[in-house]
A and B are shown apart, each in its own frame.
Chain A
Amino acid sequence: MRTLVFIPAWNEQASIREVIADVRESLPEADILVVDDGSTDATTATARKSGVLVATLPFNQGLGAALQTGYLHALREGYDCCAHLDADGQHPATEVARLLAEVVADRADLVIGSRYSDPDAEAAADDYRPTFSRRIGIGVFRFFLTLATRQRFTDTTSGMRAANRRVMALFSAHYSPDFAEIESLQLAVREGLRVEEVPVRMLERTGGSSFLTPLRSAFFIFKGVVVLLVGQFRPKHAEPER
């Protein structure tokens, strides 16, 4: 069972080294690929120094394009399963290993690491406290995605996922460059893939800062809802190859 763990990174020189070390420790068998999404800092150099493969996009293309690069690599290099996690240190690699276990056991095609699979535990969780605007966004996306897919999702924007080859084939062909997380879930469910959420523990960010200001959040939410609506009318694709 060959496994690829890829890490999309955009200006994450401060945290990328620890993230790589963490993945190595928890998933010693896995190959690691860092996808540098056109960073202007030393992300590529830092990652290379850690001895992992780095795919450097020549200019910033957005998270979706970076993730798709990872899926494309996994598909072409014949990996059996793959996983990705954020480069800012929010995602402990031990949790990624749990997601991968679900895929390896063939209980799901795509597994999402959810910060709050139990909605009641949300407020009590000490690990992660979302801001007000974020909470609204989370609620809106949760509602619309559940409506669109008729499947319950709690952490719609989670960047911690594990997938098998069916997902690699689908995502390397179709992946929205600007609305990666939500649209991909909708797409996967529409294409009849088994998508599963697994509750995971997440940490505070160790480097960088969140890009979301209130205004941006509002626009992000609006865009997300439009994207979901349009996505409902997309034609279904042929069954992706296994």
Chain B
Amino acid sequence: MSAHDASVRVVRAGEAARPNGWWGMAIFVASEATLFGTLVGTYLYLRGQAHHWPPAGVPRPALLAPLGLTTLLVLTALPLVLAAGWARQAKRGPAWRALGLATVLQIGYLGLQLHELSTQIAQFSPRASSYASMYFTLLVVAHLHVLVGVALNLWLLARLARGLTRYRVVGLRATVFYWLAVDVITVVVVAVQLSPRL
């Protein structure tokens, strides 16, 4: 037996591990965390340099809508986690319905957030100040991640409607992991967004 074969045998004798699709999503989430880390860092740096934050004439962010909508988004983690669990148990129907419920709620969240965003852009332009630039950049990038997640859900719903395969279950698990990361990112973004109220 060669040294290579021995190494392969050693690692194959180990515990059942997560699939590579899940680990690939973990790498992607790490890169997304870096992106948001730099955005939040930039926001805090600019805030530290500013005399007034937000600048004069710009309204302070509202509390109710962002907190309520973020709570809604975080709550969608429950049906998503359930969907992943049911899919692993080969329960296609419950998994599909749970994923569908989460998708409907997430689309509602995105619609309401885009409405809020358009209202705010009418009040102050992203070009008006560094505050406005960072504020809208953070929000738009966060909303784009929700949009990507919704697209993944719709794709999965279409695939799961035709049956469960190992490949699709891995895709669902990776997508649920993505959404959990998006939930955490959204909480951080909202905390930064509302920080002038603190």
Judge: A and B partners, yes or no.
no
Q: Which residues of B line the A interface, CB within 8 A?
A: none
Write the residues of chain A forming the contact surface with B, with a CB cutoff of 8 angstroms.
Answer: none
